[in-house]
Amino acid sequence: MATYAELRDFYGTSAFDGLAGKVAVAVLKKVEAIGNEATPTAEEIAWAKQALANPRAQAGILIGYILAVNDSATITQITNATDAAIQANVDSAVDKLLSL
């Protein structure tokens, strides 16, 4: 488990930037998924438009949530997460945040 201090120190590193880039790509894939839904909600459409305009900003919002949800993971596990794991986390985070 990464400590709060380790997570704080993780921010701003090249490994964090790499993870943020992967999260930004996963954000765009989530936008695509919402666009392919038969009846996306107004909240999903609004989020998708914002995310498409600035996926890095959305990644910045989501990455903190994703780190909190994965609080049992080490920094090494976080930085070595597969694309599928990152996508699943982004999908889950967006769905959760849109339901608030």
Range of the domain at 34: 4-98
- Tokens 């992967």 found at: 22
Q: Is the pLDDT of residue 80 over 90?
A: yes
Helices (H) and strands (E) in the chain, counts: 6, 0
User: How many structural domains is the chain composed of?
Assistant: 1
Give the model confidence (pLDDT) of 33-54 as tens digits.
999 999 999 999 999 999 999 9
Q: Tell me the two tokens of residue 35.
A: 């666009």
The predicted-structure confidence for 10-36, as pLDDT tens digits, reads as follows 999 999 999 999 999 999 999 999 999
What integer pLDDT is reported at residue 90 of this predicted model?
98
pTM of the model: 0.94
Q: Are 40 and 48 in contact (CB under 8 A)?
A: yes
Q: Confidence band (pLDDT; 50, 70, 90) for 100?
A: confident
DSSP label at residue 71: T
Handedness of CA 85, 79, 94, 26 (dihedral sign): negative
* Placement of tokens 């438009």 in the chain: 49
Q: pLDDT value at position 17?
A: 96
